[in-house]
């Protein structure tokens, strides 16, 4: 995206012959050749396909991914560059009214579940009255000889952590509790959790049975006593139990920090309660470049209770053309460990690949999962018995093929849960902690503490055909392009969009950079909750130092 001009024509040209200095956007042909969209005042250009725009003041061009389906709302995020808007991120907001069901969320911890539950009485004798309002459940049971009670349901799955259900209650009578997953609910049966003996006000600890399929949780069952009774539930809370200690970890991207100032780095790690460092280790000709220096640092770190792992990462590592070279890097670390004495060995190799950062013409989205899993397999073979860890974004929680590949080839995951709101952090972490528990792996939860650029988000809304829009969606040679305008313009061959609003994205929802004190205060709470999951590998902190 270059200088803004008063222009009338949009051209799609071979990159080699496209003029410089005009608003532009790069595209690629079916044969991989580089093309360029440009805007200028020339009606036509040799070797180019052209479209007349009219008297347009074009601010910028933004290409949509091949096959993208433009929606009614488009978000463009970026910043001003030399007085022009430069787009760093685009989002096609899904239109409403789809039939795709929302993914069930996990139960929240330490909150009153009754606030969003539904209660339904059962029993052929119709001897139960139940009401649920304001986060309180009132049950009244008359005497009877047939089973009766209340079913409690909610819009969740149950996470795979060590936990109990804590009930705050008052009333009279002995109420048996059960829990049912999908299979048991279909059979109208359940697993025993315990009994509430209500003789006044109290609190009960209800155990979650080992045979419960947490992911398909359906309901709690409260059974009325045969001789009748009453029960008022004031709270129903899922409480983590028996948290296990897990070390904090962080990335050290400056290789001189461990090679030249190792004692200073380890002293800082002790102050921050860091138990593992991910460091950049130089390689040369398929070997660790300075094995003696690395061994000395790993030994010193181990003496202070700090593990050391090597970190690697580049989006291009996912490409078939780079797979052999990437695997060779894993073999270099494995060879170092094989030759080193146990106190000098690296704990693991961590790969932070992030293939989604590659442009569509380098790696089409349709091939990403397949190529990523193939890379996992190659790295697993190359690393041998050495532990392998992979960094993934929290929004990969529904990538079934990728998660299956990670379960097969990885020893651990580090999840970039880059949010600052505690509820969001927990919500995005749970599915990966459950994944680790289900597969016998480890999962770290990573938080961001580094600076992020201040950007602006523009929200565009689609207008009726023929309207004058602040942005036009045009199609040229099968490629869809957003043309951002300084003044509204109508175009017979383009879909118009109106700028509906802007907001500043200052990074405060993503990074703790402006308040690292809040991060340090939050860590014990997160560690206490996440530590209840088998396989929790600790909190990883990015750019803490």
- pLDDT tens string 293-310: 999 999 999 999 999 999
> What contacts 80, CB < 8 A, 6 or more positions away?
86, 456
For the purposes of burial, counting CB atoms within 10 Å of the CB of 184, is it exposed (0-12), middle (13-18) or buried (19 or more)? buried
For residue 5, the model assigns a pLDDT of: 46
**How far, in whole angstroms, is CA 32 from its chain's centroid?**
32
Give residue 1's pLDDT: 43
The three-class DSSP label of residue 303 is helix
Residue whose pair of structure tokens reads 């503490």 in the numeric block: 449
Q: Tell me if residue 31 falls in helix, strand or coil.
A: coil
Q: Mutual orientation of helices 291-303 and 320-339 as an angle, nearest 10°?
A: 70
Q: What is the pLDDT of residue 384?
A: 97
Angle between helices 422-439 and 400-409 (to 10 degrees): 60
503-540 per-position pLDDT tens digit = 999 999 999 999 999 999 999 999 999 999 999 999 99
Task: Tell how strand 349-351 and strand 307-312 pair up.
Answer: parallel
pLDDT at 184: 94
| 256: helix, strand or coil | helix
Residues paired with 196 in a beta bridge: 175
Q: Where do we find the tokens 């009338």?
A: 8
**Residues in contact with 321: Cβ distance below 8 Å, sequence separation at least 6, in sequence order:** none
Measured CA to CA, the distance from residue 46 to residue 40 in angstroms comes to 14
Residue-wise pLDDT tens digits, 328-377: 999 999 999 999 999 999 999 999 999 999 988 889 888 999 999 999 99
CA distance 339 to 386: 13
The whole-number pLDDT of residue 4 equals: 47
Residue numbers in the chain where pLDDT is lower than 70: 1-7, 22, 97-102
Contact between 389 and 427 (Cβ < 8 Å): no
Pairing, β 73-81 against β 84-93: antiparallel
- Rounded-to-integer distance, Cα 455 and Cα 77, Å: 7
pLDDT at residue 246 in the model: 94
- What is the distance between the alpha carbons of residues 417 and 408, in angstroms, rounded to a whole number? 23
Phi, psi of 326 (to 5 degrees): -65, -45
pLDDT at 360: 82
Distance CA 498, CA 320 (A): 42
Give CA–CA dist 285/324, Å, rounded: 14
Residue 478, token pair as written in the block:
């099968």
What is residue 102's predicted lDDT score, i.e. its pLDDT? 66
Taking the C-alpha atoms of residue 446 and residue 284, their distance in angstroms, rounded to an integer, is: 30
């Amino acid at each position: 995206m270059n200088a803004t001009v008063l222009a009338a024509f949009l051209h799609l040209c071979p990159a080699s012959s496209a003029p410089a200095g005009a608003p532009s956007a790069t595209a690629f042909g079916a044969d991989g050749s580089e093309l360029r969209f440009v805007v200028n005042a020339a009606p036509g250009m040799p070797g180019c396909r052209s479209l007349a725009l009219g008297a347009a003041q074009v601010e910028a061009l933004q290409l949509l991914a091949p096959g993208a389906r433009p929606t009614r709302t488009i978000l463009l995020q970026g910043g001003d560059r030399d007085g022009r808007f430069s787009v760093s991120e685009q989002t096609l907001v899904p239109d409403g009214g789809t039939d795709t069901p929302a993914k069930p969320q996990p139960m929240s911890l330490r909150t009153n579940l009754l606030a969003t539950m539904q209660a339904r009485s059962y029993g052929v004798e119709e001897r139960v009255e139940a009401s649920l309002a304001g986060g309180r459940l009132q049950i009244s049971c008359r005497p009877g000889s047939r089973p009766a009670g209340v079913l409690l349901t909610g819009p969740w799955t149950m996470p795979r952590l060590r936990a109990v259900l804590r009930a705050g209650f008052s009333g009279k009578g002995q109420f048996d509790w059960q829990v049912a997953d999908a299979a048991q609910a279909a059979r109208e049966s359940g697993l025993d959790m315990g009994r509430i003996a209500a003789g006044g006000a109290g609190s009960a600890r209800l155990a979650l049975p080992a045979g419960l399929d947490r992911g398909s949780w359906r309901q709690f069952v409260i059974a009325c006593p045969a001789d009748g009774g009453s029960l008022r539930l004031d709270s129903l809370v899922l409480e983590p139990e028996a948290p296990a200690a897990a070390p904090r970890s962080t990335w050290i991207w400056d290789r001189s920090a461990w090679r030249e100032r190792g004692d200073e780095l380890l002293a800082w790690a002790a102050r921050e309660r860091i138990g593992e460092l991910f460091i950049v280790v130089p390689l040369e000709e398929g070997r660790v470049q300075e094995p003696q220096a690395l061994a000395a640092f790993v030994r010193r770190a181990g003496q202070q209770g700090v593990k050391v792992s090597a970190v690697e990462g580049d989006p291009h590592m996912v490409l078939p053309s780079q797979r052999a070279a990437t695997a060779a890097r894993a073999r270099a670390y494995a060879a170092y460990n094989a030759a080193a004495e146990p106190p000098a060995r690296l704990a693991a190799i961590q790969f932070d690949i992030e293939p989604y950062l590659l442009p569509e013409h380098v790696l089409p989205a349709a091939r990403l999962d397949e190529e990523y899993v193939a890379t996992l397999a190659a790295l697993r073979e190359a690393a041998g018995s050495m532990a392998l860890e992979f960094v993934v974004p929290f929004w990969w929680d529904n990538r079934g093929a990728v998660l299956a590949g990670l379960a097969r080839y990885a020893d651990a995951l580090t999840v970039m849960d880059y949010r600052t709101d505690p509820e969001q952090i927990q919500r995005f972490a749970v599915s990966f902690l459950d994944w680790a528990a289900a597969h016998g792996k480890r999962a770290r939860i990573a938080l961001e503490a580094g600076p992020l650029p201040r950007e602006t988000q523009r929200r565009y809304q689609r207008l009726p055909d023929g309207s004058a829009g602040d942005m036009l969606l045009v199609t040229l040679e099968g490629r869809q392009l957003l043309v951002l305008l300084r003044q509204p313009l109508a175009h017979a061959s383009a879909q118009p969009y109106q700028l509906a609003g802007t907001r500043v994205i200052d990074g405060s929802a993503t990074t703790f950079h402006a308040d690292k004190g809040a991060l340090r205060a939050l860590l014990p709470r997160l560690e206490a909750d996440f530590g209840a999951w088998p396989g929790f590998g600790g909190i990883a902190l990015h750019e803490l130092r």
